[in-house]
Amino acid sequence: MRCDCSERWLAVSLLLVSASYDVIVIGAGPAGSATAHYAAARGLRVLLLDKSTFPRDKTCGDGLTPRAVRMLADMGVLEALRAVGYEVRRFAVFAPRGHATAAPIPHADPMLPPALVVPRRILDDHLRQRATASGAEFVAPAHVVALEREQDSVVITAEHNGRRLHYRAAMAVIATGASTRLLLQAGVLRTQPKVMVASRAYFERVRDLSDVWMLRFDHAPMPGYGWVFPIAPDSANIGVGYFKEDRHTSAHHAFERFVHAPPLRAMLREARQIEAAKGYPLRDDFLTAPTWAERVLVVGEAAGLVNPLTGEGIDYALESGCIAAQHAHTMISSGDFSPAAHHAYDQALRARFQALFEFCWTVRRWAMRPWVLDVLVALANRRTDLRTKLAQVVLGGVPIRGRLTLGRAVRALMRAR
């Protein structure tokens, strides 16, 4: 039985309180819906819970990188999203002093769009529907407040309009994004991680938009950047994200400063801001984040899977959901819930993402300074190979094989000169 709407809650809840599942996925963002889709497609009995009824908004830049596009194609939702999204073919980086470099977004498959921008209200609802079409049950609003283990199961407690409901499953997948409350309650996280912060708003009647992702290091706090991502020929998602080292700047203040600085003021001369800017934190601590606990796997941003340089995480959310579903299937079909079986999931995530995150943290440490970015952008304008590397970094790839040290980076720069 599937349920998409809260009106049928009562009937469904009576059934579900006693029902038991193979996997309960908590959170129906990209990570949770991807997990639910891939797990249900493998024949597992899956319950997907979210505290919000859908469609719902999620504060985001809405940018889908080539990695995300590939995953959406794999999930069978790309064509529907392509019809409602905005295709982006190039990116432009503006240095702190304002000079720019631009290049096509590299992508391997000419049949796929290089990148897309799809408002999260639309994207997340498509992904959730994909999960239910594959066989997962969806229940919302179901705010999960507790996760407890019994001998051979997990029991999830969710709140719905003041009522508490209990669900049982062989295991749970936590996909609650940057919200850490459940991870702390369930003993997965012991301390509150440090976060990035970001704020964004939608604008219409924006001038000078084209099929370009604009990343601006001018008039944005360092380390961090501002973005202009078109969602239509004259509308855009505009925002600022940064790593909060300067305690005196709030995300709201950084956003206001960015949109009122000369470059954006020119683009927004006749524009209308559709609603107040919204801010939200980002967790990019994958290198130290726990990814499992007994009978629990953690996916997406709940596992710190947000790029520490670019702040994008939808692609890694989808990929980690796919990996978690494979491991959940193995654990459930073999009945092996040993630490080694959980650890295998962690190892699979580290094999996929560790090098990328180490690279991005190193670059963030030494390159996110105004003078370095000024030099890099100027050099990139003269060197195609540097522009390609920059594109890979901007799009969440690893352009240098092996460990990146400051020495290697300086030598690469000297060669580029």
Residues near ligand FAD (CB under 6 A) are 26-32, 49-52, 58-63, 143-144, 175-179, 182, 198, 200, 239, 241, 280, 282, 300-302, 306, 311-315, 317
Pairing verdict, β 137-139 and 46-49: parallel
Interstrand relation of 235-243 and 196-204 (parallel, antiparallel or unpaired): antiparallel
Q: CB 338 → ligand FAD: shortest distance, Å?
A: 26
**Phi/psi at 52 (nearest 5 deg)?**
-105, 150
Select from 83, 56, 82 the least CA-distant residue to 69.
82
Report, in Å, the least distance between residue 337 CB and ligand FAD. Answer: 23
Secondary structure (3-state) at 275: coil
| Residue listed under structure tokens 């669900």 | 167
The nearer residue to ligand FAD, 303 or 386, going by C-beta atoms, is 303
The distance of closest approach from Cβ of residue 332 to ligand FAD in the complex, given in angstroms and rounded to an integer, is 22
List Cβ<8 Å contacts ≥24 apart for 149-158.
149/294, 149/295, 152/337, 153/20, 153/295, 154/24, 154/295, 154/296, 156/24, 156/26, 156/49, 158/49
**Nearest 10 degrees: CA dihedral of 400, 312, 78, 327?**
80
Nearer to ligand FAD, 240 or 267 (CB): 240
Show the tokens assigned to 259. Answer: 């949109």
Residues 147 and 174: their CA atoms lie apart, in Å, by 10
Nearer to ligand FAD, 3 or 386 (CB): 3
Residue 307 and residue 313 in contact, taking contact as beta carbons nearer than 8 Å:
yes
Tell me which amino acid residue 104 is.
Answer: P
Residue placing its CB nearer to ligand FAD in the complex, 96 or 239? 239
Nearest distance from C-beta of residue 343 to ligand FAD, angstroms: 21
Between 165 and 175, name the residue whose CB sits nearer to ligand FAD. Answer: 175
Q: Residue 67, SS3?
A: helix
* Of 266, 288, 311, residue with least CA distance to 60: 311
Q: How far is the CB of 276 from ligand FAD (least distance, A)?
A: 14
Q: Which is nearer to ligand FAD, 314 or 360 (CB)?
A: 314
Closest to ligand FAD by CB, 38 or 386: 38
Contact between residue 203 and residue 119 where contact means Cβ atoms under 8 Å apart = no
By C-beta, is 25 or 170 nearer to ligand FAD? 25
